[in-house]
Structure 1
């Protein structure tokens, strides 16, 4: 096991615990539009995707998704996240260890930069370290599972893909990391480990374990 030269984190579900809040909103919204789904089904169908993709899939499944739904849902979601979005336990300590080791890091997310400003910005010490290292699918027009977002972060840092490590909690993100030729660690705090392991990701369940896994 060798240390990476760059670590690329997903945001939602890896740095901030935003997914339960978002999935709860989505479950209630879709149920009101004629598509009742269990929390587990919501997670399996939509976690790690784009909101445009959520709308398309929900419409195909029979939900009454009107024009402008994506934009409207984003505003509702942003307002809810702004009320309070906690960090994932152990994230601050993991970033501290990377700083001590002199290893740079970035964030590669299918979420918008606005969303990251809202969630990460609630934690000033974390935001100060990450605000200039954000790679959003909305900004670059490249969404996971396409590896392009991760490859762009690596290229900007001047680090070859095989010297990068990706930390992601979704099948789409882990697929992107593997397609990019990067070491891919699947963060499975809530039981999604088998799905990520089946893709080829190295599964771990506590952010406290990350420094050891990165040989820090």
Structure 2
């Protein structure tokens, strides 16, 4: 089925920011008494809000200051401003969607500012003008389906005719609860955590056109 709208997550789906952000997070938490490997941090925190990351880190023994969320955002944004790359295949995929007139948007648990930084540094920002949805702004975060449902309603599309592209179990769960099919982007590993939430695993963004029945460029 060709969808009427594709809803992309941002970090790890449009922009390759997850490794940068999580390495910085590992270093930050180590300063606050919690030692984690990069893989452990990715498994624990990917797809969550920063407030949720802080709560989980405290439960694991981190001694975080009251203003930790502001601290980690400042460090993260400074690092991201040094530049990140688009996820391989994303520019070409968006070109194909534009060619066939298939609408798309981005819905992220990250802030508007963070999306502006990462989409801006990759040159993708103009493609999502007026079609960015942030959990910070709307005050509803994945796995709650409200972020995706708001995006669909704002763009006048039936949720059942939307397709979500996600890289985290949190996002896949939000898609499932919204009644939207989901492609789980898993370029490495088996994608089992995404599949457990009902996502159809893809390894490469170049798979998407054939899967949704549009012509390759």
TM-score range, shorter chain: over 0.9
1:1-216 matches, within 5 Å, as 2-124=1-123, 126-191=124-189, 193-216=191-214
- SS of the residue corresponding to residue 122 of structure 1 reads helix
Would you identify which runs of 4 or more consecutive aligned residues in structure 1 move more than 6 Å? none
Comparing 9-18 and 200-209, the one that deviates more: 200-209
Q: 1: distance between equivalents of 2:127 and 2:31? A: 40
* CA RMSD between the two structures: 0.9
Q: 2: distance between equivalents of 1:22 and 1:87? A: 15
Q: Return the offset for 1:88.
A: 0.3
Q: 1: distance between equivalents of 2:98 and 2:76? A: 32
Q: CA-to-partner distance for each residue in 1:48-70, whole Å, 9 max, x for gaps?
A: 00000011111111101111010
Q: Return the offset for 1:211.
A: 1.4
Q: Return the offset for 1:192.
A: 5.4
- In structure 1, stretches of 5+ residues that fail to align are none
Q: 2: distance between equivalents of 1:105 and 1:75? A: 29
TM-score of the two chains, using structure 1 as the length reference: 0.97
Q: CA-to-partner distance for each residue in 1:1-27, whole Å, 9 max, x for gaps?
A: x10000000000000000000000011
TM-score of the two chains, using structure 2 as the length reference: 0.96
Aligned length: 214
Q: 2: distance between equivalents of 1:29 and 1:133? A: 32
